[in-house]
Chains A and B, each alone.
Chain A
Amino acid sequence: MTDAPILSVKDLMIEFNDHTLPETAVFDFDLTLNAGEIVGIVGESGAGKSLSALAIAGLLKRHSMARNGSILFEGNNLLNCDREILRGFQGDEISVVFQEPLSSLNPAYRVGKQVEESLRIHHPEMSADERKERALAALEDAGLSDSGRVYNSYPHELSGGMRQRVMIAAAMISDPKILIADEPTTALDVTVQAQIIELFKKINREKRCAILFISHDLSLVKTLCHRVIVMKDGRIVEEGETEEVFYNPREDYTKQLIGAIPRIGEKKKSREAGETLIRMSRVDAGYRTGVSKNSFKTVLHDVSLELKAGEILGLAGESGSGKSTAARAIMGALEVTSGEILRAEGYEPYGNGMRMIFQDPYGSLNPAHTVEWILTEALTGGKRRKYPGGASAIREAVLNALDQAELSEELLSRKPRELSGGQRQRVAIAEAIISRPGLIIADEPVSALDVTVQQQIIALMERLRDEKGIAMLLISHDLRVIYRICDRVAIMKGGRIVEEGSVDRVYSAPEQVYTKELLAAALMET
């Protein structure tokens, strides 16, 4: 499968020069990449994995600099060789695929021109017809069968998955020896993600191209890579054959990372659900996009859901499936055109019984105010003078909520930007529970967080349910998170509920084809 090393990186050190004091971001990074091999670099945000990969591709931005070490490729040290030599490799021998396919493509030019660009730079002798022929073939190799149309499209006219295929076609058109993929599937839906992973496997198999795959998602790395490098805070923590690292990790951090992947298959304890809080029956709902009469857009079709006290219901699906819209319908922010939503007392729109938690904890906390102000505002509804018990009662309730969310009192005077991602999400949870609701609607509450932090927030939510009996509606694209915490799950697609049932039943015996596909893609058990 693998043979001689084609790239070797030794003692690479990368510094940030953005601020007045230089800050080292990557220490002593070593890597050997053999021809035809797939190596994965995993780690949480800030681990230095992308920086290391970009340094190899010669793409460090002006504020970060490789200070030390060597990157040997075909007899040249890419760190200090002539710019012309480096440029000769870029796009010809070493190609890169980035995370965000939309912003990584130039919006002003047609796709075909961008796919061909490497050929135009490195093979100026090639005729335009020849280039086009190669570009069409590359697009087809990347799984775009409608290559003629794609060739003449602008990036914004394609879907996310297609754009990433275009990026891959552009990278592979010159048959590079090394393909560097920097979080190439993070911005994509799970089913598309699975297809792109398959594409990488095929490229590796058919073109014998070595791949350096950077990802925060351990399960992707596990299915794709031959070898794995685990990074934390700029240093390599552990390195080895994939099987070895995953089934027999040596370092504590690696164990912690692997432990943070919720496992599927453990039997879940069943809980007694209480009375019904909200019941949606056969609801069609939507919103207006403008002032005119026909601007109404129906986004939910025939949706039935039941939220019961003390139960956690998961709402799963890909982007655009209507999960968040369903939550907004429950909050009462949508116009219902058919069917009905029955609500227990206190669970009417803007009622005191339910609260919502948003995906991005930075956006959901008012950046201009302190934690104390935010919590007080949530407790009193902006009418702090009228709160029974006055300032001391408010203070007590705020401290209590903070304590529930496992936060210390000293955070009270901080503003959101002075908090870490995990702390912010805890403040958001404190804000939600401060008025003692019976139901929390959480829209992707952990997707913006690193896996180890994710783990802690999930544990906190579980504890709130167990101790306070708070019911939850958990919206997530991550089927593992849902498995870990939910009692029941509903799968959505195109604004409809495709399948609904207990988590045990849906995960072990899905009835619908789409559910099976989604589960297979998400859990990567192929």
Chain B
Amino acid sequence: MAKFFSPFSDRFGKSAMFRTGFVISMAVLALALAGYVHTPFPPNAMDEGAKLAGISAGHLLGTDHLGRDMLSRLMAGTGMTLAIAFGTVMTGMAAGAFIGALCGYFGGIFDEVMMRVIDTLFAFPSILLALVFVSVFGSGRIHVMLALGIAFIPSFARTVRGEFLREKNRDYCMSARQHGISHMRIIFFHILPNIADVLISSALIGFNNAVLAEASLSFLGIGVQPPDSSLGRMLSESQQYLFKAPQMALLPGIVLVFSILGFSLMGEGVRNND
């Protein structure tokens, strides 16, 4: 594992884009992690006396329409959004990379059939797939994670398959075969390290899309269910109060933009590093 990530410092660190993205992502991550440990108020606790309150010593970022502390909700909501995005990418990448690796490396009928299915799914925008899956599974955070994870499989599978298809035809793979090295060892020890860049960059970009997708679903009211907080939910709740309390929309929105921006800059940095 250490070996896998060692190129991180010397190769990726150089890119200014990657560095900027890294700083932004770390800030967002810190907000979320701090939220797991401690929030100023319980995120769902309502303060009847202070609805839609502005910035004050008690409520650093004010309160929402139910008198809940904005900062606390923001911390918890960021944590929820990032956690769901993380789960989504892990599910999508694990399954997608596995399918893509086998299809790309072995080819044949399995590949043909699998790719037909994957291509068809890929033609659907992932948010739409997630909508359909949610309507089958039902809403709620675990279901959303699962629905999005499945919706993300096609793009990972396609990317990884393409890489394996290209790599397996390169001479070093043919060379490895002649030394009697097993297929599984070639897949995991010979080819995989060579596509690490691509995997990292598509994981980062996938993470972005996952943040966006979770926020959209929760915004639409079929993702995270009340009273739980998530960036999408907060935005959805803010809409009616846009006139009276624009900060209710702007705060979660800005955090959302920064989380997407941070990871997309990191992804770009990795990809442009040739």
A: residues with CB less than 8 A from B are 291, 331, 333, 350, 352, 354-356, 358-360, 363-369, 377-379, 381-382, 428, 431, 435
B175 contacts across to A, CB distance below 8 A: 356, 358, 364-365, 378, 428, 431
Shortest distance from the beta carbon of B86 to any chain A beta carbon, whole Å = 26
Flag if B174 contacts A381 (CB, 8 Å).
Answer: no
Q: Is the CB of B171 within 8 A of A358?
A: yes
With A291-B109, A291-B112 as contacts: A350 and B180 at CB distance below 8 Å: yes
Given A291-B109, A377-B181, A382-B179; A363-B172 close (CB under 8 Å): yes
Contacts A291-B108, A366-B190, A382-B189; is A356 near B172 (CB within 8 Å)? no
Does B182 touch A at the CB level, under 8 Å?
A: yes
Quick check: is B14 within 8 A (CB to CB) of the other chain?
A: no
- Residue numbers of B with Cβ under 8 A of A are 108-109, 112, 170-172, 174-182, 185-186, 189-190, 193-194, 196
What are the residues of chain B within 8 A of A368 when measuring CB–CB? 190, 193-194, 196
B170 A363 Cβ-Cβ under 8 A: yes
B179 touching A365, Cβ below 8 Å: no
Q: How far is the CB of B155 from chain A (nearest CB, A)?
A: 24
A358-B175, A364-B175, A366-B190 known; A382 vs B109 contact (CB < 8 Å): no
Residues on A with C-beta less than 8 A from B170 are 363-364
Q: How far is the CB of B190 from chain A (nearest CB, A)?
A: 6
Known: A360-B171, A381-B179. 14 other contacts (CB 8 A): A291-B109, A356-B178, A358-B171, A364-B170, A364-B174, A364-B175, A366-B172, A366-B176, A366-B193, A369-B193, A377-B190, A382-B181, A382-B185, A435-B179
B46: shortest Cβ distance to chain A, in Å?
55
- Find chain A residues with CB under 8 A from B194 CB: 366-368
Ranked nearest first, the 9 interchain pairs of A and B with the lowest CB-CB distance are A364-B171, A382-B181, A368-B193, A381-B180, A358-B171, A382-B185, A363-B171, A366-B172, A378-B179
| Bound CA–CA A377/B176 (angstroms) | 8
Q: A431 CA to B179 CA in the complex, in Å?
A: 9
**Which of chain A's residues have a CB closer than 8 A to the CB of B190?**
366, 368-369, 377
Contacts of A360 in B (CB 8 A): 171
Residues of A within 8 A of B181 (CB): 377, 381-382
Q: List 9 A-B contacts (CB under 8 A).
A: A354-B178, A358-B171, A363-B171, A364-B170, A364-B174, A364-B175, A369-B193, A428-B175, A435-B179
B177 to chain A, nearest CB (A): 7
B90 CB, nearest partner CB in chain A, Å: 23
Residues on B with C-beta less than 8 A from A350 are 177-178, 180
B108 to A: closest C-beta gap in Å: 7
Tell me which residues across on chain A come within 8 A of B196, comparing CB atoms.
368
CA distance A378 to B42 in the complex (A): 60
Residues of chain B contacted by A333 (CB below 8 angstroms):
174
- Give the chain A neighbours of B179 by CB distance below 8 A: 355, 377-379, 381-382, 431, 435
Contacts of B174 in A (CB 8 A): 333, 356, 358, 364
Q: In the complex, which residues of chain B have a beta carbon less than 8 angstroms from the beta carbon of A378?
A: 175, 179
B40 → chain A closest CB, angstroms: 47
A367 to B197, CA, bound (A): 13
A428 to B172, CA, bound (A): 10
Q: Report B-chain residues with C-beta under 8 Å of the C-beta of A331.
A: 178
With a CB–CB cut-off of 8 A, which chain B residues contact A366?
A: 172, 176, 190, 193-194
A441, chain B: closest CB distance, angstroms? 9
Q: In the complex, what distance in Å separates the CA atom of A439 from the CA atom of B180?
A: 16
Decide: A365 and B180 in contact? CB cutoff 8 A: no
Contacts of B193 in A (CB 8 A): 366, 368-369
Residue of A nearest to B177 (CB): A350
The closest CB in chain A to the CB of B190 belongs to A366
Q: Chain B: which residue is nearest A357 at the CB level?
A: B175
- Contacts of A369 on B, CB cut-off 8 Å? 190, 193
Give every chain B residue within 8 A of A356 (Cβ-Cβ).
174-175, 178
Residue from A331, A360, A378, A379 whose CB has the most chain B CB atoms within 10 Å:
A378
Contacts of A359 in B (CB 8 A): 171
Nearest Cβ distance between residue B69 and chain A, in whole angstroms?
Answer: 49
Minimum CB distance partner of A361 in chain B:
B171
Residue of B nearest to A381 (CB): B180
B274 CB, min distance to chain A CBs, angstroms: 12
In the assembly, what is the distance between CA of A382 and CA of B112, in Å?
A: 30
B179 to chain A, nearest CB (A): 5
With both chains docked as a complex, state the minimum distance between the C-beta of B28 and any C-beta of chain A, in angstroms.
31
Who on chain B is nearest to A382 by CB?
A: B181
- Tell me the smallest distance from the CB of B98 to a CB of chain A, in Å: 20
Residue ID in chain B nearest A333 by CB atoms = B174
Using Cβ atoms and an 8 Å threshold, which residues of chain B touch A358?
171, 174-175
Closest B-chain residue to A360, C-beta based? B171
Shortest Cβ distance from residue A82 to the other chain B in the assembled complex, whole angstroms: 37
Docked CA distance A333–B174 (Å): 10
Docked CA distance A359–B186 (Å): 21
* Most central of A355, A363, A435 by chain B CB within 10 Å: A363
A350 to B40, CA, bound (A): 66
- Chain A nearest CB from B24 CB (Å) reads 27
B176: chain A residues at CB < 8 Å are: 366, 377, 382
- In the assembled complex, the Cα of A352 lies from the Cα of B189 at a distance in Å of 21
Contact of A364 among B108, B109, B172 (CB under 8 A): B172
Q: Which of A354, A355, A359, A364 has the most CB of B within 10 A?
A: A364
B168 → chain A closest CB, angstroms: 12
Q: Which of B108, B175, B178, B182 has the most CB of A within 10 A?
A: B178
Given the complex, which residues of B lie within 8 Å of A352, measured CB to CB?
180
- Give min CB distance, A110 to chain B, whole Å: 31
Q: Which residues of B contact A381 (CB under 8 A)?
A: 179-181
A363 vs B171: C-alpha distance when bound (angstroms): 5
A330 to chain B, nearest CB (A): 12
CA distance A359 to B174 in the complex (A): 12
Q: Taking the nearest CB of chain A, how far is it from the CB of B132, in angstroms?
A: 31
Residues from chain A with Cβ under 8 Å of B182 in the complex: 382
Shortest CB distance A213–B (Å) = 33
Q: How far is the CA of A379 from the CA of B177 in the complex (A)?
A: 12
Closest residue on chain A to residue B192 by CB atoms: A368
